[in-house]
Amino acid sequence: MDPGDHRRIRALIQRELGITLGEDKSTLITSRLRHLVEKYALSSMDDYVDWLESHRDAAALGELADAISTNHTFFYRESAHFECMAQRVLPEVVERLRARNRFDLRVWCAASSTGQEPYVLAMIIDELLRNEANRWRAGLLATDVSQEALDVARRGEYAADAVSVLPERWVKRYFEPIDEGRMRIVESLRREVTFRRLNLMRPSYPFQSRFDVVFCRNVMIYFSAEIRRAVASRIYDVMSEGGYLFLGLSETLERGATEFRFVGPGIFQKPMRSGSVIAGEE
Ligand SMILES: C[S@@+](CC[C@H](N)C(=O)[O-])C[C@H]1O[C@@H](n2cnc3c(N)ncnc32)[C@H](O)[C@@H]1O
């Protein structure tokens, strides 16, 4: 396959999915997309790009996203963030809402992959609010561009080994064994998470109410600096004042190019007009 083929497919992947693949990723592109080239009886990557350009529909792009995106995730990944969420961010946000007599907490997990991350967030929320469950509407929206990842997430079935990293009380409360070596998230928790397909490259995000907490971890690493800035700015627009954004521990926002306030590694806050930070940090 000549390099011209890969330039075009790389440009299309960046434009449609945000994912920036360097010239050194030719082998990866070929191996991940070969089955699609064959599925449509095309003879080259170049023909596949032509085919995609003429079928720019959600299904064709969805297949491309499934093939090209890296869905690697695991329970309790970058656990410091979940601890910060449970011990500091969520209690603070809940207190603020309570003080305003608003009992609707809104959390968005924006690159939820196969579900491990949003389910842990649902566990943290449930643990904090379970005694007042009747009072609160705690919506957790989990989105990803990959339909295949969302299908796995909705099933909520995982290898028991992968689940065992979680605190034992969560395993007992939120999982049921299904067969040898596999466990499923209990239905009551699965119901708390709404999974939807959403491409972060959309020009704006289609939400009516604002989010108090957004997790968008380990996806910005695939984006260029320009796309990262644009995505962060669109996320900012759908967050409530004082709301918290979690990126991956190794991901950051350029100071000066964002209105978010830096809180800690991978943690940012949308400022409140009156000013509010987690005590002891800034
Ligand atoms: C490496 S996984 C990270 C999963 C999880 N957030 C974590 O930290 O473990 C990256 C996810 O981002 C998703 N993704 C990639 N490009 C995207 C886009 N343009 N819009 C939405 N999701 C995207 C991929 O499908 C994949 O599930």
pLDDT confidence of 142, banded at 50, 70, 90? Answer: very high
Show the DSSP H helices in the chain as ranges.
3-17, 26-39, 45-54, 58-68, 79-84, 90-99, 116-129, 147-155, 160-163, 168-174, 187-190, 225-237
Query: How many angstroms separate the alpha carbon of residue 191 from the centre of ligand 1?
Result: 22
- pLDDT tens readout for residues 203-261: 999 999 999 999 999 999 999 999 999 999 999 999 999 999 999 999 999 888 899 99
pLDDT at 7: 92
**CATH number 1.10.155.10 given to 3-68:** yes
Query: How many angstroms separate the alpha carbon of residue 52 from the centre of ligand 1?
Result: 22
Give yes or no for residue 48 having a pLDDT over 70. Answer: yes
134 or 117, which is more confident? 117
Instruction: Report d(CA 100, CA 212) in Å as an integer.
Output: 14
Domain ranges of the chain: 3-68, 79-269
Across residues 23-50, what is the average pLDDT?
93
Pocket test for ligand 1, best of 76, 121, 144 (most atoms within 8 A of CB): 144
Q: Which residue is closest in CA terms to ligand 1's atom 17?
A: 145
pLDDT at 280: 38
Instruction: Report d(CA 63, CA 45) in Å as an integer.
Output: 15
- Cβ of 81 below 6 Å from ligand 1: no
Across residues 264-277, what is the average pLDDT?
82
Fold of 79-269: Rossmann fold (3.40.50)
